[in-house]
Amino acid sequence: METRGVLFFVDMKKILISGLLTGCILFVLSYGGLLLSVRFFPALFAEYNNPLFNSDGNRDLLFYLHAFIFSLALSWFWDRFKSLFHGALLVRGLELGLVYTLVALLPVMWISFSALDVTLVMVFSWLVYGFIQAIIAGIVLARLNP
């Protein structure tokens, strides 16, 4: 019984460390990607001048923490199901990105588009952004926790 407890702690430590490292990488890449996207796709970001996206600033921290929440969840998922993903790092990352996109992201984007006053282009950009994030997370997790 004591061995199971130690193994659980070791697994959780691996999940937390790889999740936090992945979160740091995604945070930096996401923030850089946001700056580049605003520069190269200004028309898309003009759509964010919508009352739907106006915030008083109280929850901005939650937005910036999304990379860590996302990475910790994917780290747990990766640890649990990594044996199902085969091939090189890039292939495993692509597979994880595809699974995440089909199982979680696509349904969320569907409901977002149907329930919120957002454009199809905006929702598609979120879908692509999430897919790319999941691919990067998959590559990093495959490297950190093979």
pLDDT tens-digit map of 39-54: 998 888 787 777 777 7
More confident residue, 28 or 117: 28
Distance, first Cα to last Cα, the chain:
26
Q: For position 142, what pLDDT does the model report?
A: 96
Count: domains in the chain: 1
Q: Domain range holding 41? A: 2-144
pLDDT one-digit tens code per residue, 2-18: 566 555 666 888 999 99
How far apart CA 101 and CA 134 sit, in angstroms, is 8
How far apart CA 98 and CA 105 sit, in angstroms, is 10
Global pTM value: 0.87
Give Cβ neighbours of residue 86 (< 8 Å, ≥ 6 apart): 92
Q: What is the residue whose two structure tokens read 């993903």? A: 85
Q: For position 51, what pLDDT does the model report?
A: 74
DSSP symbol at 115: H
Structure tokens at 105: 């992201």
